[in-house]
Every structure is written in structure tokens, then in C-alpha cells.
A and B are shown apart, each in its own frame.
Chain A
């Protein structure tokens, strides 16, 4: 790499480490780095204990109400699973083996093909996962056989109508997706989620249990509904409270046992303190910052034993619910900043070691790099609309900046009155180059929630969950995985009379006729919209099936008992019955937004406006993947593109979104939930591109489509301001049928260097806020570093890059995704 290139601090540290210098943060965070040395860089392994205990229990309880069975399984797990108090740790508890990074299995999701998938694990060279021969045998002999024919995934697959199946799955068993109308519900038991940690920390499970008991006593013994539905729900809640407390206390016992044999007096004291804390929380209210953190971690770890939550359950607004304990301890002198940082480090280390295993082909492709992003949310507003930033917000930001891990995922909420001091700290973190934090806009998200019927206070209390979605604890009630539409496939169907190049003569869309028959651009675009709406229609049917089918397979007694509305109505969170007062925010993703816009704009410009190309010429070039049609490809590439503040392209995007929103407005109510337009791709833009032929924006067959609402790879040539404006231009602010929009922007370190760079980034974020955009995240990195890391992965093991709503180690990603990241435009000039 030439020396003249300005490196980001993150790049500089990696370079120094490769040269043998140690990380300067090591001295400030000795415990974190010691913890890290024990697991960093080693492939994760699979622990089967949870899966085995869960299966044993479910086998023994067949026929009983689902919520109750689930709670009994949790009791069984809590009583028998191995518990851990890691050496060096101050926060006890993990969900599986203490041999470094690990993952656990959820056979209720994919038990039918678990054995086969695990046997094929070795194929995934980019992100290897280790399973011991004994564990593999346990899965094949004791776990998988029970689930065969019983999983949700099989049930959904069976229920798909014939005309839909070829759009959804590529094989009869439904192992691999077609990525045309992609369903994400069989990868997880719940959508991304945020439990009400505050409730556990402030009240404790003993008090919650007493509340459940009171409700039980108040049941009408004559009422059949109370007996059929409410009693099993409440009994499940009781059992779950007991399970969590039992599990926590087993950690206290273990810590005491360890203390008895511990020879180091300092560690012995630590172990005794851990024991005392685990004895108290989460059963009773936390009294200190340390107790509050332990209660939080026990809750989130137990939630992982309960179910697979998409991208793992999130951390919620940590700077809000932990602040009272932080402030009190700081004021009394019981806590120092250093100690608070150390405790946060302990939480990050626990989070980092739990890997959301991607075993099925679909989940492997859509969330690469051991993807999990249990977002920590800071900043934003209080329920009554005041700025919510406090000293803990700054401490969490600092802790994240020092931390060499890509966990936890840090999200910042900003609004019109976010103080400059906080915005500056955010800008400086972004400049560091690890991709943190991602930024969310209260000025878009809060009013949208209010427009959809949420009270102001709840709307302002949202937390980031998943990569770019948000949840309101005690208000959100929709947990089904949703669908994703391949927009460029709709365009391909417009050009090939309802067919796609990859699937030959198989009719997949509407027969809109030969493209040469369209008289003008308007006719062509109308045909495209018909194809797009047709895919959307299918997505709605799939979603309806998902919503109905899931309720027969999943229950979430812990998630439900921590949710005010579920508890009030005695309804499980995964039930298909509406939960009174609930906010059912379902959605579908428009995938490859920019690729489709650019392709449509190129067709409009070359075929209809300039007439520099005939439709036949275009179709021939696409068929041949541009081989021998280089001039055609160049002509197409020269057309206006999304990401440059050019209404020629952006106007098309706005119409595409509008059409989708209008369909939603008309038909969502039939599904009983909202069905809003979202555009968040995670890493699925890579597999979505694989099923497509060449597209009219010059993209070659099989290459990734654009991610989220970012510009197509390399298309944004007018600087980052134009990228924001294009995002703004394509939004229909008159429609409320809109949800998250993910936006990636890549800067070179040079463009944000120095005080000037900080001020520019701050102004950029303010403008982002003014424009009412949803989300933005940054990669501050040199293209050369990425190329270097591809060449010498060993030297760049610690290189963290931003993917889509989360960050990952670059070397853990597939070659396709690495290339995609390299191809995205780096804004070197503004």
C-alpha cells in the first residue's frame, strides 16, 4: 500500500499489530484483552446441550398447550444445562460451552435437515464452524429424528400453493431459496426483538411472579376461555419465572464452589461477589450498576435459550435503563469510570462469544460473517421529548470505540436537538473506521410510529433492533419473519414475458408480452409495475401463511411474560390472535432498489428517450451477458443513476415505492397487520443477484444487486450529499406505509480527516436528520486496505468492516461479499 494514503485509526492499529506492536487500548482494558485472547480468531464450536434438553422435554409433553410445553422445556433446560462462570469474567453465565466462541442449536426450526447441514459445515470455508464427532452423533441420533416432519419449516413448505412455490424455493424440500419472493421466517422463531430489561432490573422476577399469581387467582373458574387459554399461559409464565431464577442461582452456587478452591485472593473475592450478585438478581431488584448489568445479561442469555430471535435479541436503550444505577453508584463513590468500563467490557465479551449459527443455506447467505447484531441503543429522546443523552451514553460510546470487537452493535439515535457535544463524539467514533455507530433518525421514526397509531411516549421510547429496524418494548407485538422481493427479477420478467434467463421457459411472472410491443416508456413502466405488484401479491399470501403456521409451532413464555400487553391479555407473543393494543409492524423488503431504478432509467434513456438502442438490441445484450456488446453496456452505464440527486432516476424509484405502498394500503388489513415497505438487505443482496441475469444498468449476470437503499456499486459519482438527496427524492412522505431504509456510505479516511472532517461529518449527520431519512452507516476505509486484506487475510484478522446494519470481520466474509464491498463507491471528495 502506498505510504501517501491516509489511514483510519482502525487501519493504523491493524498495521501496527501486524508489525508486532500491541494494541494501545490493551493497557486501559486489561481484563477485556485477556478475555479476548482466549477466544479471538478461533472458529466457533457448536454446543448441543440446549437442543438435546429441549428435545427431551418436548418429546415428553406432547399434546399439552404449546406455551406450557415451552415453559416446561425451559425448566428442564434451567435445571440440567451446564452452567459456567468464566475465569476472568465479572458477569456470570453463558448458553453453552466455554471453549471460546460458540453457538447453540434450535432443532424446532431446522431439525429436519440439521444432521445433513452440520455434516456439510466444512464446506463453508469463509466462516468455519466446529462440531465434535460426539456432538454430531447426538444430533443425528437423538435430536434430528424427533423433529423430522415436525418443524415449522416443513409445515410452511407443505402449505405453499403450487403457483407460489417456484418463486420461493428452489427445491422440493425448501432447503434453498429462489430469492424471488424470499421468506425469512423459517430461519428464526422470532423477528428481531427487545425485551423489557428495565422491568427485570427494577422489579425482579419475584415481583413479576407475584403479579402472575394474582392474575391466576383472579381467573374466572367458570369461564372456559380462562381455563383453555389464560390458565396455561399464566402457568407457563410462573414456570418461566422459576426457571430463570433457578438457572441464575445455579451460577451463584458454582461461583461459591470455585471460590473455595481459588488460590488467588483477588479472584476469590471477585467470585464471592459474583455469587452474591447471582443469588440476588434477577430474582430481586438490582441495587447497583453491577447487579443491573448481571440481571440484564441473565435475561438476554436466557432469552437465547428460549428461542432463536432473528439476529439475536437486542440490548435496548442501555444508557436509559442503566443510568439510575450508574449515577447512584458514581455519586456514592461505589463506582469509578474505570470500573464501569470494565463491567461493560465483560458484557461485550459475553455477547461476542455467542454466535448466531448460520447453518441452513439461506441463513448462511443472508447474514454472513457469523452475523449477529444485538444492538445497543444510545441517545435519542426521553418519553416526554427531552434529549436523552447522559454521561452513560458517552461512556458506552467510549467503551465501544476502545473495544477491538465488532460486538455489540452500537446504534445512536439523533434528533433535531441532539447536543453538538454528543454529535461530535459520534462523528469521531465513525472516523475511527470500525463502522460504529450506525445512526437512526428520531425525526423520521417517531412521527411515523405516531401516524401508525402509537402514543408519543411509546414512540419516543423505541430501541434499535436487528440491523436497521426498531422495536418498542411492551408495544410491538409482531414476531413473524417477513418476505423480501427481488425487484430486478420483476424487471427481468418484464423483458422476458414473465420468465427469467436463469430458469428458461418456466413461467414465473405475468405474461406482459414481448418488450418490443410497448409503445413508449409509460407502457413499459406500467408493465414493470404490474410485475412488481404481482410479486408483492405473492409475498402477501406467503406472509399470511407464515403468520398462521408459526402460531402452531412457536411459543415464547419469557418474551410474553416480560411484555405488558401479552400479560394483560394472557396471550403468547407468537399467537396468531391479535394482542389488544399491540403494534403489528409487518413489512416486506424491496431488494436491489438501486439496481432496479438504474436499470429502468437506462432503458428509458437509451430505448425510449435517446433511441440510441433498440429493445431487441438491449434484450440480446442482456441474454449474452454483454459479451460482444461492450458498446451497449457503456451506453447503458452512461444513463442517469440513483445516488446522484438526479430526478430522472430518482423519480422512477419514487414511483416504484409508491406503487408498493398503495398495494399495501389496500390489502394489508386483510392480513390483520401492517405490511409496510422496507429496504434492508443485510448481505442478501449477494444471493439475490446470483439468480438474476445481466441487468440493464450494466450489472453482469450473477453479480450482487445493490444493498438496502444505497446506490448501485460505483454508481454514486456526485459525492455523499447527492446520495442523501437521492434517498430523500425517492421517499413518498405522504404515505405512512413505509419502514426502515438501510443506507451504506463509504468514505476514505482522507475525506473525513482532521477537525475539518469531524465538522463535515457532523453537518452531514444534521442534514441526514433534516431530510428525515431513516438510517445511515459508514465505512471509513481505504479500498487498498480491503484489497490487501483479501491478499493477506492473516495480517488482517482484526479488520472490521460495515456490511449492512452490522459489522463483521472482513476475512470471515465470502469472496463474493468481499468483492461487493470493494466495488461500493468510496467518497474521497465531498
Chain B
């Protein structure tokens, strides 16, 4: 078996593929979301990508009152009507039937209203790249390509690396968005296959970081340093979600900035927290924490602080700098 053939056969769990994105790397890009994340950020906007296993989620506005076709179809009866009247998956009983293969689990198949969504399908690297490659016609004039995102893409290391290698073989520009909390060896291997790196940094303080994300930040900061040193020409975009009550202060930004100060070929982007993911928590039968959305004034102030440490890319000039 040729190496290329073997690479194509590696499989992994993908939440979804998003086409025509312009926010995650240069040009127009296809985003591949790999499922599963080692972090549990309190503000996470994509809760459906946290667990490694496939999940069922419901879409409240589609669920019909009085209909229980999904529960009847479920071999474990693992669905229950929540307080809002919407059928919700009961994770402790769900047997996770079939969603990894072709077709849909019985509950989702039985729902004619399309209120049950399957998060996570097992797919092959070659098949993913076939889909990505269809978008080449949209990349070629603006220097776009594929961006791996998550979850944490490198938490499925074999699959993520296979995707990056296969993209390289097909001459597709590659980017990775990572939380950095991965073994350094995997991370550096990935960097060797990348054209562009998006690196998330949340907090400089180790203890606060652990409280907010469930893990400490030592390895994360170390990985960033290693990547910068080993691949000086790899453009790195550091991204910091700005969460009021967590890190939306000049002091927090300054503390992060200290780590970036001496690094070359780095740009920094502050992303205001948004609440778009809240409905998904409800659909997964989970509670979410609510945060205020930082206003323009606050973002401007923090960006000003950040500017002392690195080249800052604010939302308006975002595209210009990417392209």
C-alpha cells in the first residue's frame, strides 16, 4: 500500500465542514471541524464539539409538541421532554447507535421535522479532502485553503496529520486553529505541515487558566515558544477571546502580551465573546454560563493595550491583513 493510500484511509470524527469562511486564515477557506477537545472553556461557543463521541442534539424551534417519534424509535428510550417541552437526548442512556456509520441513528431518522441533529460522523481523510478540493475554484484567486479546527483538531492526532499531509499532496494551503494543549511532538509535526497557524491564548495566569478551561497553560505557552523557534517563517495569528469577568481587563491583556513581546512574525487578534452557542447547550440538554458581550469601547481599549506587545489585527482590518 502506498503511503498516500494509507493516509486516505485514516478516519476521524468530524463535526462538520464549513465552506467559504474568511475569518479563519488567509483568503477564502474551507473549515474542517474535528470533534473532541481537551479543554472545557466555560464560555465555549461550540459545546457540540467538546466530546469525542458523536452526540445527538435537538433544535428547539423544529421539535413538534405532542410528537414522540424519536423516543419510540430509540432502542433505549433515551429521549425525554425537557422543561421547555422539547425532546432532549438523555446522555446517560444513549447507546450512540449508528451515527458513526452511513445513515442516521433511529431517533434522528424517525424525526421528520428535522429537529434532531447528529453531531459527529466518522469520515476518511481522502473523502474529506475530496470535498475540500471542490472549493479550490474559490481559493485560487485569494490564496485560501483548508483550515483544521475543532474541538481541538490535534486531539485526533493521526487523523489531523493525515488531513494535513493529504492537503499538502494536493497543493492545498493549510491552516490549523489550535488551543495548544497537545503533546509538543504532535504539535511540531503539525507545524511542519502548515502554511499558517492560528493559536488560541486565553489567560496568562496558570491558576485562572485552569479554573476557566480545566487545564493549566504551561504546555500551551511552551508549545507557542517551540513553534516560533522551530518554524520562524510560519505566520502565527494569536487569538484571544475577550470574556468579561474572565480576561476582559487591561491587566489580563498585558499579562498575555508579555509572552508575545519578543516573538517575530506574530499578529494578535482579540475576539469579543458572543452568545451564539447558547441555544446549542439547551439542545444538548446542558446548561450554559452566560457572559456579557463586550462593547466596542472595551474592545478598543484592550486592543490599544495589546498594541504595545504585538501587531494587533482588529475586526475591521481583519481581511486586509489576512489577504
Q: Is the CB of B141 within 8 A of A763?
A: yes
Q: How many residues does chain A have at the interface if contact means C-beta atoms less than 8 Å apart?
A: 25
Known: A719-B20, A755-B320, A756-B22. A770 touches B112 (CB 8 A): no
Q: Is the CB of A722 within 8 A of B22?
A: no
Known: A754-B316, A755-B320, A760-B28. A766 touches B141 (CB 8 A): yes
Chain B residues with CB below 8 A from A638, complex form: 112, 114
Known: A635-B112, A760-B28. A721 touches B319 (CB 8 A): no
Query: How many Å lie between the Cα of A755 and that of B22 in the bound state?
Result: 12
Chain A residues with CB below 8 A from B142, complex form: 759-760, 762-763
Q: Is the CB of A760 within 8 A of B22?
A: yes
A645 CB contact (under 8 Å) in B27, B112, B134, B318: B134
Query: How many Å lie between the Cα of A730 and that of B106 in the bound state?
Result: 33
Cβ of B90 to closest chain A Cβ, rounded Å: 24
Cβ of A439 to closest chain B Cβ, rounded Å: 15
Chain B residues with CB below 8 A from A766, complex form: 140-141
A757 to chain B: closest residue by CB: B319
Q: Is the CB of A721 within 8 A of B141?
A: no
Q: Interface size bucket, B side? A: 20 to 34
Cβ of A331 to closest chain B Cβ, rounded Å: 35
Chain A residues with CB below 8 A from B319, complex form: 754-756, 759-760
Does B122 sit at the interface, judged by CB under 8 A?
Answer: no
Cβ of B138 to closest chain A Cβ, rounded Å: 5
Known: A631-B112, A755-B320, A766-B141. A718 touches B28 (CB 8 A): no
Chain B residues with CB below 8 A from A686, complex form: none
User: What string of 1s and 0s marks CB contacts (under 8 Å) between B10-22 and chain A?
Assistant: 0000000001111
Chain B residues with CB below 8 A from A722, complex form: 19
User: What string of 1s and 0s marks CB contacts (under 8 Å) between B125-168 and chain A?
Assistant: 00000000011011011101000000000000000000000000
Query: How many Å lie between the Cα of A74 and that of B316 in the bound state?
Result: 60
Chain B residues with CB below 8 A from A756, complex form: 22, 318-320
Chain A residues with CB below 8 A from B144, complex form: 763
B19 CB contact (under 8 Å) in A631, A634, A830: A830
Chain B residues with CB below 8 A from A830, complex form: 19-22, 28
Q: Is the CB of B20 within 8 A of A721?
A: yes
Give residues 293-323 of B contacting A (CB, 8 Å): 316-320, 323
Chain A residues with CB below 8 A from B137, complex form: 725, 767, 770-771
Does B275 sit at the interface, judged by CB under 8 A?
Answer: no
A719 CB contact (under 8 Å) in B19, B112, B134, B141: B19
Chain B residues with CB below 8 A from A637, complex form: 114
Query: How many Å lie between the Cα of A793 and that of B297 in the bound state?
Result: 38
Query: How many Å lie between the Cα of A774 and that of B144 in the bound state?
Result: 25
Does B113 sit at the interface, judged by CB under 8 A?
Answer: yes
Known: A638-B112, A759-B323, A760-B28. A720 touches B20 (CB 8 A): yes
Chain A residues with CB below 8 A from B141, complex form: 762-763, 766-767
Q: Is the CB of A770 within 8 A of B140?
A: yes
B113 CB contact (under 8 Å) in A634, A720, A755: A634
User: What string of 1s and 0s marks CB contacts (under 8 Å) between A419-462 and chain B?
Assistant: 00000000000000000000000000000000000000000000
Does A608 sit at the interface, judged by CB under 8 A?
Answer: no
A720 to chain B: closest residue by CB: B20
Q: Which of B28, B134, B138, B144 gathers most chain A CB within 10 Å? A: B138
Cβ of B4 to closest chain A Cβ, rounded Å: 24
Q: Is the CB of B19 within 8 A of A763?
A: no
A634 CB contact (under 8 Å) in B28, B114, B140: B114
Chain A residues with CB below 8 A from B317, complex form: 755
Does A146 sit at the interface, judged by CB under 8 A?
Answer: no
Query: How many Å lie between the Cα of A721 and that of B30 in the bound state?
Result: 11
User: What string of 1s and 0s marks CB contacts (under 8 Å) between B102-114 and chain A?
Assistant: 0000000000111
Q: Is the CB of A763 within 8 A of B28?
A: yes
A721 CB contact (under 8 Å) in B19, B318, B320: B19
A760 to chain B: closest residue by CB: B22
Q: Which of A637, A764, A766, A767 gathers most chain B CB within 10 Å? A: A767
Give residues 16-52 of B contacting A (CB, 8 Å): 19-22, 27-28
B316 to chain A: closest residue by CB: A754
Cβ of A423 to closest chain B Cβ, rounded Å: 10
User: What string of 1s and 0s marks CB contacts (under 8 Å) between A741-774 and chain B?
Assistant: 0000000000000111001101110110011000
Chain B residues with CB below 8 A from A634, complex form: 112-114
Cβ of B203 to closest chain A Cβ, rounded Å: 29
Query: How many Å lie between the Cα of A464 and that of B229 in the bound state?
Result: 57
Query: How many Å lie between the Cα of A722 and that of B27 in the bound state?
Result: 17
Give residues 761-810 of A contacting B (CB, 8 Å): 762-764, 766-767, 770-771
Chain A residues with CB below 8 A from B21, complex form: 830
User: What string of 1s and 0s marks CB contacts (under 8 Å) between A625-639 and chain B?
Assistant: 000000100110110
Chain A residues with CB below 8 A from B112, complex form: 631, 634-635, 638
B319 to chain A: closest residue by CB: A756
Known: A634-B113, A755-B320. A767 touches B138 (CB 8 A): yes
Chain B residues with CB below 8 A from A631, complex form: 112
Query: How many Å lie between the Cα of A637 and that of B114 in the bound state?
Result: 10
Give residues 672-727 of A contacting B (CB, 8 Å): 718-722, 725
Chain A residues with CB below 8 A from B19, complex form: 718-719, 721-722, 830
Known: A756-B22, A756-B319, A830-B20. A763 touches B114 (CB 8 A): no
User: What string of 1s and 0s marks CB contacts (under 8 Å) between A812-830 and chain B?
Assistant: 0000000000000000001
Cβ of B207 to closest chain A Cβ, rounded Å: 37
Chain B residues with CB below 8 A from A719, complex form: 19-20
Query: How many Å lie between the Cα of A762 and that of B140 in the bound state?
Result: 12
Query: How many Å lie between the Cα of A645 and that of B137 in the bound state?
Result: 13
Q: Is the CB of B138 within 8 A of A763?
A: yes
Query: How many Å lie between the Cα of A527 and that of B313 in the bound state?
Result: 59
Chain A residues with CB below 8 A from B134, complex form: 645, 725
Chain A residues with CB below 8 A from B22, complex form: 756, 759-760, 830
A610 to chain B: closest residue by CB: B109
Query: How many Å lie between the Cα of A631 and that of B69 in the bound state?
Result: 11
Chain A residues with CB below 8 A from B138, complex form: 721, 763-764, 767
Chain A residues with CB below 8 A from B320, complex form: 755-756
User: What string of 1s and 0s marks CB contacts (under 8 Å) between A135-156 and chain B?
Assistant: 0000000000000000000000
Chain A residues with CB below 8 A from B113, complex form: 634
Query: How many Å lie between the Cα of A755 and that of B323 in the bound state?
Result: 11
B103 to chain A: closest residue by CB: A610
Query: How many Å lie between the Cα of A764 and that of B28 in the bound state?
Result: 10
Query: How many Å lie between the Cα of A725 and that of B323 in the bound state?
Result: 24
Query: How many Å lie between the Cα of A754 and that of B138 in the bound state?
Result: 19
Cβ of B296 to closest chain A Cβ, rounded Å: 13
Query: How many Å lie between the Cα of A434 and that of B281 in the bound state?
Result: 40
Cβ of A476 to closest chain B Cβ, rounded Å: 31
Chain A residues with CB below 8 A from B318, complex form: 756
Chain A residues with CB below 8 A from B316, complex form: 754-755
Chain B residues with CB below 8 A from A754, complex form: 316, 319
Cβ of B251 to closest chain A Cβ, rounded Å: 31
Query: How many Å lie between the Cα of A760 and that of B22 in the bound state?
Result: 8
Chain B residues with CB below 8 A from A720, complex form: 20
Cβ of B319 to closest chain A Cβ, rounded Å: 3
Query: How many Å lie between the Cα of A634 and that of B114 in the bound state?
Result: 8
Query: How many Å lie between the Cα of A118 and that of B112 in the bound state?
Result: 51
A756 to chain B: closest residue by CB: B319
Give the interface of A toward B (CB within 8 A). 631, 634-635, 637-638, 645, 718-722, 725, 754-756, 759-760, 762-764, 766-767, 770-771, 830
Q: List 11 A-B contacts (CB under 8 A).
A: A721-B19, A721-B135, A754-B316, A755-B316, A759-B142, A760-B22, A763-B138, A763-B141, A767-B138, A830-B20, A830-B21
Q: A756-B320, A770-B137 given. 13 additional CB < 8 A pairs?
A: A631-B112, A645-B134, A721-B135, A722-B19, A725-B137, A755-B316, A755-B319, A760-B22, A762-B141, A766-B140, A767-B137, A830-B20, A830-B21
Q: Which 5 A-B pairs have the closest CB atoms?
A: A756-B319, A830-B20, A766-B141, A634-B112, A763-B142
Give the interface of B toward A (CB within 8 A). 19-22, 27-28, 112-114, 134-135, 137-138, 140-142, 144, 316-320, 323
